[in-house]
Amino acid sequence: MPKYVRNIHTETDVSSLINEFIEAKRLRGLSDFTLNADKFTLSKFFEHYTGKLQDNLAIKKAVQEFLMGKGNAYYNKQLSIMNQFFTYCLTEGVKKGNPCDDFKYRKTTNRIIDYDEQTIKQILKMPNQRTFSGFRDYVFMLTMLDTGIRPYEAIQLRISDVQENTLRVRAETSKTRTERYLPITKQCLQAIRKLIAVRHETWDKKGVVFCGCTGEPLHRKSMQLRFVEYSKKLGINVTVYHLRHTFALWYIRNGGDAFSLQKIMGHTTLEMTRTYVNIAMTDVRKNHAACSPLRNFLGKDKERVGKIE
């Protein structure tokens, strides 16, 4: 336990403390995406709470108010960020005790979105391929459906990451901070190369593949907002991450195995991969029930139950 407590009162001091916390996590190799999410959450919380940092009871009440009404997954994510921050404050001698200690994490279930083949074809028709932004979105969709890459990893792909038969996800852009190579089909590779070919000649030759109309990198929310517009036109809520779900489900349905899917998706354990396998296997079980050769030999099941001798 720390032997002293630093005097942190002003908004500037809290901001500095947040920056110290973020830099400490950066040294542990966490991605910019994670660090930005942490900083955003903490900044929003301290806009809500303007009292003293040493007042654990007041902070505890503020945390409860801040988390109120949030879905279980988002609740857990934000609680985890604040819990880590106050633990950091404790070890740095800024506080005595962690006001988040009494909060419990909620049970969550992984909600996988499963689109049928017709819906996916309709989604692919949404972008206007006669414009640069529309064709970019179309190729982005193809890349998601072909490789299962995470959306944030996709928008950071550089031209040099597009290789002959694979896409390279660099360690600094990967959620798990490990480099991986994603297999890619000829059709998707051709589309990506065409997108690169139509770039303006003055744009950065080493820039990102999925850029804005003036060659600048996209903000991580830019593609999300584009999908909001496509959803309105389609009448179905479609997000960029749903395409990652679609890849995983159809990969298994088309004969892929769980272990190769785990490597492609970048899952650190098989737990999440099994979720996709279980959903996809529901179709297999239904097909087996309808198509098993045993039905030919014993006849179809009868609905009536008679006396058993």
Domain CATH for 36:
1.10.150
- The answer to whether residue 96 sits within a structural domain is no
Residues 85 and 172 in one domain: no
Residues 58 and 138 in one domain: no
C-alpha count within 13 angstroms, C-beta hemisphere, residue 291: 6
Please give the pLDDT value at position 295. 66
Residues 51 and 176 in one domain: no
Residues 194 and 239 in one domain: yes
Q: Which amino acid is at 250?
A: W
Give pTM, 2 decimals: 0.70
Q: 51 is in which domain, residue-wise?
A: 11-91
Please give the pLDDT value at position 300. 62
Number of domains the chain contains: 2
Please state, in angstroms and as integers, the Cα–Cα distance from residue 203 to each residue in 159, 200, 308, following that order.
Answer: 12, 6, 79
Taking 50 as the threshold, does the pLDDT of residue 196 lie above it? Answer: yes
Task: Provide mean pLDDT across the span 78-98.
Answer: 92
- The answer to whether residue 102 sits within a structural domain is no
Residues 151 and 286 in one domain: yes
Domain CATH for 133:
1.10.443.10
Q: Are 86 and 22 in contact (CB under 8 A)?
A: no
Residues 124 and 75 in one domain: no
